[in-house]
Amino acid sequence: MSHSLKESDVNTHSYSQKDIDQAWDNFLCSGGVSKDLPVRGMIADSWERCLSQGVNPEQTAAPLLATEGNLHILRQKNTDLMKCARPVLAQARVFLRDLETILILTDYNGVNLDVVGDPKCVDNAVGIGMVPGSGWKETVSGSNAVGTAMATGMPTQVHGEEHFIQGFKPWTCTAGIISDPYDNQLLGVIDVSGLSNTFDKFHVPLVVSWANQIQLSLAKNTSEQWNLIRENSQCDFKNSHRNAGKMLFDTQGRLIDHSQNACSILSSLGVEYDLSMKSRLSLERFGGDEIVYPHDAGLWLSSDWIEPVKEKNEVVGFKIELPTNKRSTQRTSAPANIAAIKVKSQDDAFEKISGQSASVTASIEKARKAATTPLPVLILGDTGVGKEMFARAIHEASNFSNGPFIDLNCGAFTKDILSSELFGHVEGAFTGAKRGGMMGKIEAANGGTLFLDEIGEMPLEIQPVFLRVLQERKIHRVGAIAPIPVNFRLIAATNSYLRREVSEGRFRKDLFFRLSTVAIALDPLSRRKEDIEEIAHIVLKEIQDSQEIIPKRISASLVTALKNREWPGNIRELVNVIECMCYMSSNETLTTEDLPAGYQPGESLVSGVPTEQNQSSQSLSNLDIAEQQAIENAIIEFGGNITQAAKNLGIAKGTLYRKMKKYNLENPR
């Protein structure tokens, strides 16, 4: 391996364990001030990351992220890594016996795939959760050799008090990175661990040597696979016809070979795929492997360009032949710049998100990248901008897509009901508890995605309990004693400014940092007016496809009128207006005359009266007047029931209370 450490980073004896223990206490008491601490810089940096990510320093064990069934699937996904690591594991099983030391192998996500070594140490390791299926990334298990090596990309040794989590301080661990020789993507980590009295600085070159051994085996394995693909592809790239743009890939999207003119043909097609960059190409929708590393989504590929390469009826690779001027394909009628085309396929989870504006395109691209990671995602945006649609797309494009998508609005319930909805309860836990108990939303999301809308409305009392679930991956039903292990992807959304909520003490700082690992901001429709026409046409088509109504068109004047409105209700409000016109108008071409009352040019939503005659004495904007009237109507309609009024308006209950205060509205109850 090419990784190396400076002596100052490796030398864990630079500071005494007593000094480091005191530094850890001072660090936590000061809220994360690491300047001038008597610890190595690498450790201080790691502690800061752990604190910002909401890791619980009082944790006693690593969380179990893969149960027996999921672990079997995880090992299958890492077949090449497990196969190439087998000789090293066999060596360690013999070498570490009676040395009170064990070796663990993790996947790219820090999840433990196997444990071998001294039997007594293997038993001791169970107490801190060092078992197959446990997670060792810094985000879930704090500063430790595996997690910190993954965070820094360097071989790492963490000794005793240097661990961020209290439960791991009696241990010492040393880890080395295993990378794919093709593009240096992290494949896994190998780690030697034991109680602190087994500390040995020479464990660093040992794990580096073992990691190197695994990488050499991976390189040999890849070479054999590629030779097999070449033999079965019947592709002669050296003597390939000068006009034939051919490429050869393995199932993991790694480029094996290409014809001399493939680059120029890709460029002529408007495809921005650089063959020299070793960027993996997703071929999953054609039968290739799922790619968890950064990659090209391959949406520009057409099925008629692809030919699977098979060995004994099993797909081992893909041959791609690009279209040229002399070769007709199903794409001959397509525009030249096919990179700009949004390919509509069942495999594109983001295809239902409408809009071509720079804002939406950037948000979709960030969401695509986030979907391939296990990180929590926080979606920010006003009511009606499509936060749930983004959440569903991230779920469908993620490793959790085979599991359920469970959603819950944190602002729609009281504290006690929300607690029961999240965690579930046992029979008799409280008055009104369901007979036989109830599964909570977190438990229901096991193996899938939990989407918490209006996360900013989660009561303070529930927040530390929920944070503990995220850290330990275990829940306790209300009234239950035994924990239930859970593994789910978290996506949260809010229309409030959470940083302000944190500064004002209404939202926990540690939970905010944990949620906002990846934040995706969605602009309101008023800032992306170029998308209004496309959304209107899509809604129109969907209605006509699903309902027996007269086919309708949208006039240019109507498009102009729609673009001139501010749409405080965003996409949801626009969709409602288009639906109303479709059903209520008998005209084949929709014009401004078909707009509902309050939406005619120059009108506000206050009784459909022209805005020039509705200037409030309180100097409220037209949008404020419309919002105030809508809130008043909802409160009256539901007899002062704030929960129902908020649900009808599509906003959180806490948001409704703040807006009532803004407009000096009283509850008629």
pLDDT, block means (10 residues), the chain with 669 residues: 45 76 87 80 92 87 84 88 94 89 94 94 93 93 95 93 94 95 92 89 89 94 93 74 78 91 86 86 88 83 89 91 58 31 51 84 90 90 89 92 90 82 76 68 91 92 91 84 87 88 88 88 88 88 74 85 88 88 84 86 57 40 65 78 75 73 72
Helix (H) or strand (E) holding 286: none
d(CA 223, CA 554): 58
User: CA torsion 488→111→74→392, rounded to 10°?
Assistant: 30
State whether the Cα torsion 520-524-525-530 is positive or negative. Answer: negative
Class of domain 7-222 (CATH, top level):
alpha beta
Closest C-alpha among 322, 184, 326, 314 to residue 251: 314
State whether CATH 1.10.730.10 applies to domain 525-601: no
Q: What is the pLDDT of residues 459-481, one digit of tens each?
A: 999 999 999 999 888 888 877 77
What is the rounded end-to-end Cα distance, in angstroms, of the chain?
A: 71
Q: Are 455 and 515 in contact (CB under 8 A)?
A: yes
CA-CA distance, 46 to 162, in Å (whole number)?
A: 10
**Residue 189: how many CB atoms within 10 A of its CB?**
29
449-471 as b/e: b if 16+ CB within 10 A:
bbbbbbbbbbeeebbeebbbbbb
Where in the chain are the domains? Answer: 7-222, 234-340, 358-521, 525-601, 612-662
Give the pairing of strands 424-425 and 438-439.
Answer: antiparallel
Check for a shared fold between 358-521 and 612-662.
no
Confirm or reject CATH 3.40.605.10 for domain 612-662, answering yes or no: no
CB of 439 closer than 8 Å to CB of 424: yes
Tell me how far apart the alpha carbons of residues 190 and 177 are, in angstroms, rounded to a whole number.
7
Contact between residue 667 and residue 642 where contact means Cβ atoms under 8 Å apart: yes
| Bridge partners, residue 179, by sequence | 186
Tokens describing residue 75 = 């090992």
Instruction: Determine how many CB atoms are found less than 10 A away from the CB of residue 638.
Output: 15
pLDDT tens, 591-649? Answer: 888 898 888 887 765 444 444 433 333 444 455 666 777 787 778 777 778 877 777 77
Residue found under tokens 């239930």:
484
The residues near 203 (Cβ < 8 Å, ≥ 6 apart) are 157, 174, 192
This prediction's pTM: 0.50
Say how many CA atoms lie within 13 Å of 332 toward its Cβ. 7
Give the whole-angstrom CA distance, residue 156 versus residue 4: 10
Place of tokens 């087998």: 86
- The CATH fold assigned to 358-521 is Rossmann fold (3.40.50)
Q: Which of 9, 68, 26, 460 is nearest to 204 (CA)?
A: 9
Residue written as token pair 């046992």: 426
Number of helices (H) and strands (E), helices first, in the chain? 23, 22
* Residue 567 falls in which region: left (phi positive, over 0), alpha (psi -120 to 50) or beta: left
